[in-house]
């Protein structure tokens, strides 16, 4: 009997494999034109598209691989316990490494969107929202730290040495995306201890420089400020503003300071002091201006809009150790810092940098007037 084209696709069923269970799917094959109009009674269990079937097969393969991997790990743990410890360490590091690259790639895409938006809206960097400005700052620092490691990996077989160095020195060589949450906390403490070793050298440098101050009133205020800090007192904003004119010109302006004083300020921003003095002053000035722009962006956003993680990072970048401070204490300190920073001019970046010591070393000890 001849078959019509219209009769195709009616009445038959095809069995597809979904997961591990066969599932009937209506496919409708070839019925004669003159066949009885009464449809055959077929029971169809479910209807699945080919993409759903492929998804089911993929899920079945993944579950099988997972089961095989768990069995292999149990075998290693039972027969080779020491090797199993190394295996676990390697696998954790590998997964963390993959996650770090993914996070870095996502940050790069986000910065690209921010830059395109700046160009399309004709917005300057200083007028960006706080979170966009902070994202650009952090990604730039991450890339600067990551580029030397990438260059070391270029020669043949050098990547094996690089992996070894990254495992041995994660704080020095890896960026924050490749750290565990515990490492993030521990390394932040280590970095703060590194800059804290220069705190008293900065205060001592101010006391030594006071001998070059001609104005007796300003000299007295500067010595009183240094004495307060040395005695464990946390100064108030008015104490700092009383000497601000000394930091816009000689002897404490950003381009008028002694080289040794500038070198002690470098660790506050995690900059190397092993550069010529003119280069150091330019780097200190640009980093301080960037932080001052971030301060103004926080004021525009509103301090209450920052979550606890952003609050901790903001305080840490400005010289405070947030490790043992509550969110309320961090918010109180950052409020005081913004009151100090809001009235500074661009020529007073030196005062901004010095206050990363003067307004942090004794907080949250009791203020005395």
Say whether both 260 and 299 belong to one domain.
yes
Say whether both 161 and 210 belong to one domain.
no
> What per-residue confidence (pLDDT) applies to 262?
95
> Does residue 309 lie in a domain region?
yes
Tell me how far apart the alpha carbons of residues 174 and 165 are, in angstroms, rounded to a whole number: 10
Taking CA atoms, 190 is separated from 97, 148, 194, 258, 339, in Å, by 22, 22, 6, 28, 29
> Does residue 306 lie in a domain region?
yes
> What per-residue confidence (pLDDT) applies to 170?
85
> Does residue 304 lie in a domain region?
yes
Tell me how far apart the alpha carbons of residues 145 and 151 are, in angstroms, rounded to a whole number: 11
Say whether both 117 and 237 belong to one domain.
no
Kindly list the averaged pLDDT for each block of 10 residues, start to end, along the chain of length 369.
Answer: 41 38 42 43 47 65 73 70 63 65 84 92 92 94 83 75 78 83 89 94 95 92 95 93 91 92 95 93 96 96 95 96 93 96 93 96 68
Say whether both 134 and 10 belong to one domain.
no
> What per-residue confidence (pLDDT) applies to 55?
61
> Does residue 182 lie in a domain region?
no
> What per-residue confidence (pLDDT) applies to 254?
93
> What per-residue confidence (pLDDT) applies to 76?
67
> What per-residue confidence (pLDDT) applies to 129?
95
Say whether both 235 and 162 belong to one domain.
no
Say whether both 336 and 253 belong to one domain.
yes
> Does residue 310 lie in a domain region?
yes
Say whether both 290 and 161 belong to one domain.
no
Say whether both 300 and 232 belong to one domain.
yes
- Residue 284: count other Cβ atoms within 10 Å of its Cβ: 23
Say whether both 17 and 68 belong to one domain.
yes
> What per-residue confidence (pLDDT) applies to 64?
74
> What per-residue confidence (pLDDT) applies to 218?
93
Domain that holds residue 144: 100-177
Say whether both 129 and 267 belong to one domain.
no
| Number of structural domains found in the chain | 3
Q: What is the pTM of this model?
A: 0.73
> Does residue 188 lie in a domain region?
no
Say whether both 236 and 352 belong to one domain.
yes
Say whether both 253 and 353 belong to one domain.
yes
């Amino acid at each position: 009997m001849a078959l019509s084209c219209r009769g195709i696709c009616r009445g038959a069923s095809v069995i597809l494999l979904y997961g591990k269970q066969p599932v009937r799917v209506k496919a409708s094959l070839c019925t004669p034109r003159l066949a009885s109009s009464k449809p055959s009674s077929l029971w169809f269990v479910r209807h699945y598209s080919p993409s759903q079937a492929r998804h089911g097969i993929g899920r079945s393969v993944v579950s099988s691989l997972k089961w095989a991997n768990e069995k292999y790990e149990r075998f290693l743990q039972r027969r080779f316990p020491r090797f199993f410890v190394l295996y676990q360490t390697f696998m954790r590091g590998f997964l963390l490494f993959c996650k770090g690259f993914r996070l870095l790639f996502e940050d790069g895409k986000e910065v690209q969107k921010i830059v395109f938006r700046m160009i399309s809206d004709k917005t300057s960097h200083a007028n960006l929202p706080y979170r966009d400005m902070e994202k650009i700052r952090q990604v730039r620092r991450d890339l600067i730290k990551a580029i030397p490691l990438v260059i070391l990996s270029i020669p043949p077989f050098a990547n094996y040495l690089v992996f070894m160095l990254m495992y041995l020195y994660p704080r020095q060589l890896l960026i924050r995306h490749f750290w565990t949450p515990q490492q993030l906390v521990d390394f932040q403490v280590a970095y703060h201890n590194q800059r804290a070793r220069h705190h008293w050298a900065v205060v001592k440098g101010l006391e030594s420089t006071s001998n070059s101050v001609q104005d007796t009133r300003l000299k007295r205020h500067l010595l009183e400020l240094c004495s307060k800090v040395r005695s464990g007192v946390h100064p108030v904003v008015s104490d700092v503003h009383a000497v601000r004119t000394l930091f816009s010109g000689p002897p404490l302006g950003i381009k008028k300071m002694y080289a040794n004083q500038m070198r002690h300020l470098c660790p506050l921003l995690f900059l190397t002091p092993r550069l010529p003095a003119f280069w150091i002053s330019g780097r200190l000035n640009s980093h301080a201006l960037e932080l001052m722009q971030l301060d103004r962006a926080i004021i525009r956003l509103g301090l209450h809009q920052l979550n606890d993680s952003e609050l901790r990072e903001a305080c840490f970048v400005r010289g405070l150790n947030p490790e043992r401070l509550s969110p309320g204490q961090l918010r109180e300190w950052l409020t005081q810092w913004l009151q100090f920073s809001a009235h500074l001019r661009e020529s007073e970046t030196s005062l901004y940098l010095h206050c990363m010591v003067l307004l942090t070393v004794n907080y949250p000890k009791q203020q005395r007037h």
